[in-house]
């Protein structure tokens, strides 16, 4: 019974810690994922669960980037492109959707698009909002549409294939169906991806992105002193006998 109580208490404490970390860090509407290499047409980045909203943060370094969706069932498709707003001059990007034979299906020409400033309230960052491939919803962003099962490539490029971008794929928000799934989803976002994006994509240092790191260090010290206190109490009792 005591073991069960200790286990329950541990799980509740773990859940409380995780909730505190989430509350101290703004959640992103899309699950952010860093692309720290150049996915090519021969080795594209695999998009898993394409209906779930994700934001792929990458940097073109002379070559276009390719993402691939392989689905055995019909699914809802949506994609759009953003460029980090670090000045009043934007870097434009275009999108192409190709079939498995690399035939062009859809295109969003960023060079002829009217890029406008857009503020992301969750991450507190400014973007240049680019073109979308979706259905007009009458709202700020378009919505997804049904597409047949198959293999599809998404190509991200511009004239010189240079610059940072944020590629959104999918529309359905998903933050995890249970505590452990939430931890696996949000731990890298909170402790790594968020600060990385601030420094390298927006070229800024936001101390609020490091609140979870500070909270974790404080918790570690608290646990250390509690364990130390318990250990020395037992040690004193042992030598007292």
Which domains does the chain carry?
30-172 (2.60.120.380)
pLDDT score of 126: 86
pLDDT score of 33: 85
CB 145 within 8 A of CB 76: yes
Q: Count of CB atoms within 10 A of residue 111's CB?
A: 10
Query: d(Cα 43, Cα 63) in Å, to the nearest integer?
Result: 13
User: What are the average pLDDT values for consecutive 10-residue runs of the chain, which has 241 residues?
Assistant: 44 46 45 88 96 92 97 97 90 97 97 92 81 92 96 98 94 65 62 69 67 74 76 60 57
**Phi and psi at residue 95, to the nearest 5°:** -125, 145
Q: What does the pLDDT look like over 214-224, one tens digit per residue?
A: 777 777 778 77
pLDDT score of 122: 66
Q: What does the pLDDT look like over 137-182, one tens digit per residue?
A: 888 899 999 999 999 999 999 999 999 999 999 998 755 556 665 5
pLDDT score of 227: 79
Tell the residue number behind the tokens 């698009």, with chain if given. 113
Burial of 26 (0-12, 13-18, 19+ CB in 10 A): middle
DSSP H or E stretch at residue 95: strand 94-99
Query: d(Cα 60, Cα 157) in Å, to the nearest integer?
Result: 8
């Amino acid at each position: 019974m005591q073991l069960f109580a200790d286990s329950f208490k541990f799980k509740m404490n773990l859940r409380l810690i995780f909730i505190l970390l989430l509350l101290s860090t703004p959640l992103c509407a899309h699950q952010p994922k860093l692309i720290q290499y150049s996915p090519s047409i021969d080795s594209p980045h695999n998009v898993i669960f394409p209906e779930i909203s994700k934001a792929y943060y990458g940097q073109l370094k002379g070559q276009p980037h390719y993402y691939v969706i392989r689905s055995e069932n019909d699914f809802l498709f949506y994609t759009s492109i953003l460029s980090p707003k670090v000045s009043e001059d934007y870097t434009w990007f275009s999108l192409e959707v190709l079939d498995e034979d690399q035939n062009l299906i859809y295109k969003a020409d960023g060079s002829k698009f009217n890029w406008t400033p857009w503020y992301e309230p969750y991450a507190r960052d400014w973007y240049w909002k680019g073109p979308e491939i979706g259905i007009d919803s009458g709202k700020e962003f378009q919505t997804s549409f049904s597409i047949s099962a198959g293999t599809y490539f998404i190509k991200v490029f511009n004239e010189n294939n240079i610059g940072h971008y944020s590629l959104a794929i999918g529309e359905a928000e998903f933050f995890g169906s249970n505590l452990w799934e939430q931890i696996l989803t949000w731990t890298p976002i909170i402790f790594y991806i968020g600060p990385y994006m601030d420094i390298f994509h927006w070229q800024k240092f936001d101390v609020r992105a490091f609140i979870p790191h500070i909270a974790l260090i404080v918790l570690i010290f608290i646990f250390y002193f509690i364990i130390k206190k318990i250990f020395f109490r037992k040690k004193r009792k042992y030598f007292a006998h």
